């Protein structure tokens, strides 16, 4: 991996290099990535979007996020769990999302699986894999940010054991980064300080 340090934007703020541009990345980086996400529906959305992102750029997902939310009932687990074969067929023709049959089927199956869990169980499960923040070194460059960790591997294994599909160790780690289980903003990034305070 090429080592990249935080980059200062035209607004004078230092950011992780991927969060500088385009605008969608900057807003996502500054306002969402790495901030704690709790709530089963919110985490179901992140799991689903991370699965759809596999093999694609995150920018593609961000630009289609409104379409995903419309297509999947705002990622309300109870609603998506009731989707029928007709709904699945409709989703395959929806230009507002990524029309991948396996990913669509996995999202519907995941909703049905999670709908059978107790309220809050998904949130509790995911957050139980958050590592001790004080034991993690602060990354100074992108080369110091891992793609997987022992925690993401264990989280992926447990989610799979419970019937959740399309969540491997790399996807699980991206989920942990996005949802604030780990803070992988670089040491000189302004967002890292905002999350610490």
pLDDT digits (tens, 9 = 90+) for 95-129: 999 999 999 999 999 999 999 999 999 999 999 99
The answer to whether position 100 is within a domain reads: yes
Residue 9 belongs to some domain of the structure: no
Q: Tell me the CATH number at 77.
A: 1.10.340.30
33 is catalytic: no
107, 165 Cβ separation under 8 angstroms: no
Q: Which of the following is catalytic: 50, 83, 151, 173?
A: 50
Question: Has residue 164 been placed in a domain?
Answer: yes
Residues of the chain above pLDDT 70, percent: 98
Domain-located, residue 97: yes
95 domain residue, yes or no: yes
Residue 8 within a domain: no
Of the residues 24, 32, 58, 105, only one is catalytic, namely 58
Dihedral over alpha carbons 4, 9, 46, 87 (to 10 degrees): -120
pLDDT, tens digit, 9 for 90 and up, residues 58-84: 999 999 999 999 999 999 999 999 999
Strand intervals (E) in 50-133? none
The span from the CA of 102 to the CA of 40, in Å, is: 22
Per-residue model confidence (pLDDT) at position 65: 98
Kindly write down the DSSP assignment for every residue of 51-75, as one continuous string: HHHTTS-HHHHHHHHHHHHHHTGGG
Tell me the pTM: 0.95
**Percent of the chain at pLDDT above 90?**
92
Domains contained in the chain, number: 1
Instruction: Confirm whether 5 is domain-assigned.
Output: no
């Amino acid at each position: 991996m090429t080592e990249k340090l935080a980059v200062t934007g035209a607004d004078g703020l230092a950011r992780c290099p991927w969060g500088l541009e385009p605008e969608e990345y900057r807003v996502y980086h500054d306002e969402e990535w790495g901030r704690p996400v709790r709530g089963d529906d919110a985490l179901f959305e992140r799991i689903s979007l991370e699965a759809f992102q596999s093999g694609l750029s995150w920018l593609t997902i961000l630009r289609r996020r409104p379409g995903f939310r419309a297509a999947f009932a705002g990622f309300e687990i109870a609603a998506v769990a009731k989707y029928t074969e007709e709904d699945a067929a409709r989703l395959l023709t929806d230009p507002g999302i990524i029309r991948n049959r396996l990913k669509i089927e996995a999202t519907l199956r995941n909703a049905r699986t999670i709908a059978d869990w107790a309220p809050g169980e998904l949130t509790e499960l995911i957050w139980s894999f958050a590592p001790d923040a004080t034991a993690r070194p602060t990354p100074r460059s992108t080369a110091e940010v891992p793609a997987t960790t022992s925690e993401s591997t264990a989280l992926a294994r447990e989610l799979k054991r419970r019937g959740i599909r399309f969540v491997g160790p790399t996807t699980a780690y991206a989920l942990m980064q996005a949802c604030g289980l780990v803070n992988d903003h670089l040491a000189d990034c302004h967002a890292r300080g905002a999350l610490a305070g």
